[in-house]
Amino acid sequence: MNNLAEIIAACKDLAFDLDFKRAKQWKEEKANRVVVGYLPIYFPREVIHAVGGLPVAIFGGGDRKQIIKGDAYYQSYICHIPRSVIELVLDKHTAHFDGYIFPSICDVIRNLSGIFKQQNIGKFVKYMDFPQNFLPQVGGVFLQQEMQHVVDYITEISGEKLTTEKLNHSISLYNTNRRLIEFIYDIREKYPWRLSIEDVYHIIRAGTVIPVEEHNEILEKVCAFIDQEIGKPQDKIKVVISGAFCEQPAIGLIRAIEEAGCYVVDDDYQLGSRMIIGDIDDKTDNPLEALSNAYIKQSQYSSSIYDISNPKEYRLAKIVEKRKADGVIFASASFCDPSLLDAPIFQNAFDRMGIRYIAFQYSENINQFKVIKEQVGAFSDSIKLWEDEPMTVND
């Protein structure tokens, strides 16, 4: 892969490979390797890596998998991702996965973990509770116990024990990964024409299905390319996308938002890869504690986190201010309770703060978004025509 177009094409293939072939190949290269699938939003992948595992994100089938069996498991009035995950699993797309982790986010994900257990899918199924108590000595200790459970499951299969050195090394690799991804977003904040949000999406999503070492190499190359002036600026407003952290919009919708006149300068499409802000201590005697401290003190705002002392509406407003965005697009998966219940909180606060926004809903398998494109285009035009003073956010 010697040029940017080749890198992006390779990432696109990886990102939407519903057979997870790179993970299969990786597993076959060496005995006792363990592939662990995890659902959105976030799991500290470092702990899987440190005991010889490959963490692989499962974002569902998107618009590339017809749902037949999945619909039999769920009522009509819930989101789409659990149906396509069931379909993928029952059709053996993940037959080489050893275990599955379901991070707590909503009842749908919890019930999906129950179906996996009931159907004996995988060698282990872990419903992963995350603390809502943000005291390190309470919620932090609880999170360490939860991570230890996952380590124990993997060790039982791989025989590989967790050591301080191994976990510090894994943390350091993921620190590099997070830094490089942030570099891409920082470049796009100033020069969003250098790499489209669609390309960014493919590049980051590829990293959720391959070893972090390989993804870091890819990111290094991408960063070198976009550190130079490429592409041409267009007359578009800048927006932040919020609410699309679990079920993913179809790639056509991600593209349509930019085509309709909005540079996306920040988003929560694949929040898990960017959940921790900044580096995690990788030279510590207690790396599990370092990971739990990072979640408690350095995690991004999220619908899965209820931190009363750090209201999410102000955190999102700060991102808008930092990225010098003109507005926010609230994009929620249909029937996504966490996203849709948060939306009025954000919108009431943004009405007071004078931050402009629009909102719409999508489904991963729907590829018709003419109405959304018109709505986004009208939003962009209205901001360009009636632009006023840049907003400021007070804590």
Residues that bind ligand SF4 (CB under 6 A): 79, 81, 105-106, 108-109, 246-247, 333, 336-339
Paired tokens of 285? 């005697």
Closest CB to ligand SF4 among residues 265, 336: 336
The minimum distance between CB 260 and ligand SF4, in angstroms, equals 23
Listed residue (166, 183, 153, 195) closest to 7, CA to CA: 195
Euclidean distance between CA atoms 245 and 363, whole angstroms: 13
Euclidean distance between CA atoms 192 and 186, whole angstroms: 9
The minimum distance between CB 79 and ligand SF4, in angstroms, equals 3
Straight-line distance from the first to the last Cα atom of the chain, in angstroms, rounded to the nearest whole number: 45
Closest CB to ligand SF4 among residues 199, 247: 247
Closest CB to ligand SF4 among residues 170, 361: 361
The minimum distance between CB 354 and ligand SF4, in angstroms, equals 29
The minimum distance between CB 333 and ligand SF4, in angstroms, equals 4
Closest CB to ligand SF4 among residues 26, 201: 201
Closest CB to ligand SF4 among residues 46, 342: 342
User: Which residue's structure tokens are 């960063």?
Assistant: 223
Closest CB to ligand SF4 among residues 46, 268: 268
Closest CB to ligand SF4 among residues 105, 288: 105
Closest CB to ligand SF4 among residues 176, 339: 339
- Its sign, for the CA torsion 348, 349, 351, 356, is negative
Euclidean distance between CA atoms 362 and 393, whole angstroms: 29
Q: C-alpha angle with apex 205: 2 to 90, nearest 5 degrees?
A: 125
The minimum distance between CB 41 and ligand SF4, in angstroms, equals 7
The dihedral over CA atoms of 359, 360, 361, 366, expressed in degrees to the nearest 10, equals: -150
Closest CB to ligand SF4 among residues 90, 391: 90
The minimum distance between CB 106 and ligand SF4, in angstroms, equals 3
The minimum distance between CB 94 and ligand SF4, in angstroms, equals 17
- Residue 127 to residues 100, 103, 142, 206, Cα–Cα distance (Å): 9, 6, 14, 24
Paired tokens of 145? 């116990």
Strand partners, 34: 53
Q: Is 5 exposed, middle or buried (0-12, 13-18, 19+ CB in 10 A)?
A: exposed
Closest CB to ligand SF4 among residues 144, 299: 299
The minimum distance between CB 56 and ligand SF4, in angstroms, equals 18
Euclidean distance between CA atoms 274 and 326, whole angstroms: 22
The minimum distance between CB 82 and ligand SF4, in angstroms, equals 6
Euclidean distance between CA atoms 267 and 64, whole angstroms: 23
The minimum distance between CB 172 and ligand SF4, in angstroms, equals 30
All residues at 6 or more sequence positions from 100 whose CB lies less than 8 Å from its CB, including other chains: 36, 37, 38, 39, 58, 113, 116, 121, 122, 124, 125, 126
CB 153 within 8 A of CB 260: no
Buried-exposed string 302-338: b where 16+ CB fall within 10 A, e elsewhere = bbbbebeeeebbeebbebbeebebbbbbbbbbbbbbb
Euclidean distance between CA atoms 295 and 300, whole angstroms: 9
